[in-house]
Amino acid sequence: MSVYYEKDKFKLYYGDCISIMNKLDEKSVDLIFADPPYFLSNGGITCKAGKMVSVYKGDWDKSMGLEGDYKFTLKWLKACRRILNDNGAIWISGTLHNIYKIGFALEKLKFDIINDIIWFKPNAPPNLSCKYFTHSHETILWARKSIKSKHKFKYELLKNWDVSNDKINNQGKQMRDIWAIPFTPKSEKINGGHPTQKPVELLKRIISSNSGEGDLILDPFNGSGTTGLVAFLLKRKYIGIDIEKKFLDITKKRLRLASRHEKEKKEVKE
């Protein structure tokens, strides 16, 4: 197993996430965020920029049938469980197409589900078929390794959370489990993007709430690297895995740009 890219405490691996995770040290990871295939690329349609387009994200997103999809889900979650430390936690995003299989698999493997977060998308595209309610959210399951795990939770930080992170506007209220966050903006795709790329704000909330500086964050489905970018900005260590080099290369570009910006900010302060 060779590292595709490494800088300081940031590592990217190219290849199958299950086989790579099976080679990592047991109980070595503090927090996992996973954005697995939703199994949507099966000939359907969606709306993009006001136009009807095919829902095809890649062969990796094709369904293998009920049993095949569940078997795959159980397999990668087993690999995650082995490398997660005893007080570690995992966050997994999904839609109705895969989230119920994931929830069942988590309970099968003795994870303890803490919350299901609703990521509400205020700018969700319209439903062109007009035959059902417009899809405007994703579900994110948050689970700890076991019911005995002492998971981290930055309660006070979240009570005073603000999207811009430069002022307090939550009025000291508890953060609820419905998060209104728009789709990933174009500004976060200037180095290239991924068809299921998550917005930086979403990962900031997740990583900030459930980890501390120096913790090791892992994303088995790295994509264009939003998890890694946020881990870097929040001074965490990171491991990302992906089966497509083009997305790992986008991640490298995003990290270099973020590193340059952080260096410039530091110089201004000095």
- In this prediction, residues 49-70 reach a mean pLDDT of 65
DSSP 185-229: PGGGGTT---TTPPPHHHHHHHHHHH--TT-EEEETT-TT-HHHH
The total number of structural domains that make up the chain:
1
Lowest mean pLDDT among 43-52, 155-164, 209-218: 43-52
Q: Which domain holds residue 87?
A: 5-269
We report the CATH number of the domain holding residue 226 as: 3.40.50.150
Q: Closest by alpha carbon to 98, among 33, 39, 35?
A: 39
Q: How big is the CA angle at 63 (ends 58 and 67), to the nearest 5 degrees?
A: 150
pTM for the full predicted model: 0.89
pLDDT per residue over 122-175, tens digit each? Answer: 988 887 778 888 889 999 999 999 999 999 999 999 988 875 554 445 667 899
